[in-house]
Amino acid sequence: MPDISFNNTGIAFAHKSKRDLSKARLLFKSFRYSSLLKHGPLLAKIVIALGLKSLIKQSIFNQFCGGETIEECNTTIQFLAKSRVGTILDYSVEGEEEEVVFIATAEEIQRTIRLASGNSNIPFCVFKLTGIMPFETLVFMSQCIVRGSIASIESLEDSILHSKTMDDSDSAIFTAHQKNWALGLDRFNRICSMAYSNDVRLFVDAEESYIQTAIDLLAENAMAQYNHSKAIIYNTVQLYRHDRLEYLRQQILSTQHFLGFKLVRGAYMEKERERAISMDYASPIHKNKEATDRDYNAAVKLCMEQLNRVSICIGTHNDESNLLGVQLMENKHISAGDERVYFSQLLGMSDHISFNLSNSGYSVGKYVPYGPVSGVIPYLTRRAQENSGMSGQMGRELQLIEQELMRRKG
């Protein structure tokens, strides 16, 4: 076993006062009430409409988000930096599908890149494609790629010619998507080019499998374009998909340039399974958690074998996978602070992993979501749901908080 333990709650919660911990304990306990969880988003809307936004801000928002604006995140950035934990600013407004919102989101992402430039407290920036172009366009483009009518971004023009053979209504839909795609692609290119010219590493988040094909195409192109001398653009690989370990292998085998991968298990399991059943196709998700864990750990090993060309971010709250990362680094005599291997967790979760890793010299980044309270409700709802079972994540967070409160009592 590696010479590190995640059990030291003193290190994990050094930055939290007793009051902070008691508040967190209350919050995690409240996730136990299923009706609160079910009606949470509606309640939140009512609370905001009544002008009582501060109720949300003082509770769940403060646990999981850095602030409403980049400036408000500054306190979080500084306190994480004190423990040598980097901040990954994640503009987390979701569910808006208008062109003006896509433009504003792209500008916000570019602001995070400007702030990260030359700033060692912000080791990465991150964004989601669905933040800068319509979901349905990504679905459509992914289908075109799967059907083989688009093999690369360049061949998009050919597929427009191909659209002439469609009937009028198909052709109108295609033209609308093509326009959205062109606008989104332009924003994507500007974000990646800015990251490159500012020497800021950039994660492209992974999303649903039926839009991921288009996201992969974009991320792969950007890696080929910008990862000349090191990994600047990182694609995200979801190992709950049974085809992703092979995808990772193929990416490594079929390219010459530097590669960056954020490895995650995947966040859309229920949605993926439900869609597969309702549309009658084979689910892309592993049949059980063991298979996901096996592929996740195999992906960590695979990338660790290729560090001369591959950089990784181990994005997980799973103790074993983080320990595996540490163990492999030790075995290969890779120094703890080697920038090619990052560990990452979400703000407000798994501090026992993040702070114990950083305390032992490993490179750690916390995702710090931010945005207007009303815009981040979907994100907060997911965190609440994820922490709702007494077993799993919530049981663990609560147990660690209680352990630390007891320790402080002496």
Q: Does residue 345 belong to the site contacting ligand FAD (CB under 6 A)?
A: yes
Burial label, 218 (beta-carbon count in 10 A; 0-12, 13-18, 19+): buried
Residue from 62, 63, 76, 316 binding ligand FAD (CB under 6 A): 316
Q: What is the closest distance, in whole angstroms, from the C-beta atom of residue 389 to ligand FAD in the complex?
A: 11
Both tokens of 92, joined, read 């987390």
CA distance 387 to 152: 40
- According to the binding rule CB under 6 A, does residue 285 interact with ligand FAD? yes
**Three-state DSSP class for residue 136:** helix
Among the listed ranges 217-225, 300-308, 316-324, 356-364, the one in contact with ligand FAD (CB under 6 A) is 316-324
- Contact with ligand FAD (CB under 6 A): which of 127, 240, 261, 379? 240
CA distance 295 to 298: 5
* Total residues in contact with ligand FAD, by rule CB under 6 A: 24
CB of 219 to ligand FAD, least distance (A): 11
Q: Does 388 bind ligand FAD (CB under 6 A)?
A: no
Closest CA to 383 of 356, 357, 352, 345: 345
Would you tell me how many other CB atoms lie within 10 Å of the CB of residue 232? 23
Helix (H, G, I), strand (E, B) or coil at 160: helix
Closest by CA position to 76, among listed 17, 67, 10, 84: 67
Going by the DSSP 8-state scheme, the letter that residue 261 receives in this structure is: E
Please pick, from the candidates 315, 325, 369, 375, the single residue that binds ligand FAD as defined by CB under 6 A. Answer: 315
Q: Which is nearer to ligand FAD, 228 or 289 (CB)?
A: 289
- Candidates 57-65, 157-165, 241-249, 259-267 — which segment interacts with ligand FAD by CB under 6 A? 259-267
**Among 18-26, 49-57, 189-197, 264-272, the segment contacting ligand FAD (CB under 6 A):** 264-272
Strand 341-346: give its sheet, edge to edge: 85-91, 363-370, 341-346, 310-315, 259-264, 233-238, 201-204, 124-127
Q: Kindly tell me which of 163 and 292 has the beta carbon lying closer to ligand FAD.
A: 292
* Conformational region of residue 392, where left means phi above 0, alpha means psi within -120 to 50, and beta covers everything else: left
Residue 86 binds ligand FAD, judged by CB under 6 A: no
Cα angle for residues 147, 148, 154 (degrees, 5° grid): 135
Residue 243 Cβ vs ligand FAD, minimum distance, rounded to whole Å: 14
Q: 154 or 290: whose CB is closer to ligand FAD?
A: 290
368 belongs to the binding site for ligand FAD (CB under 6 A) = no
Local structure of 109: helix, strand or coil: helix
Cβ 334 vs Cβ 307: under 8 Å: yes
**Coil, strand or helix at 163:** helix
**Residue 74: CB partners within 8 Å, gap ≥ 6?**
67
297 binds ligand FAD (CB under 6 A): no
Question: Can residue 292 be called a binding residue for ligand FAD (CB under 6 A)?
Answer: yes
Smallest distance from the beta carbon of 321 to ligand FAD, in angstroms?
6
Q: Candidates 43-51, 171-179, 232-240, 327-335 — which segment interacts with ligand FAD by CB under 6 A?
A: 232-240
CB-wise, 173 or 269, nearer to ligand FAD?
Answer: 269
105 counts as binding ligand FAD under rule CB under 6 A = no
Q: Which of 110, 178, 236, 358 binds ligand FAD (CB under 6 A)?
A: 236
Q: How far is the CB of 68 from ligand FAD (least distance, A)?
A: 21
Q: Rule CB under 6 A: choose which of 269, 307, 323, 405 binds ligand FAD.
A: 269
For 74, the 3-state DSSP assignment is helix
Binding site for ligand FAD (CB under 6 A): 205-206, 236, 238, 240, 264-269, 285-286, 288-289, 292, 315-318, 344-346, 367
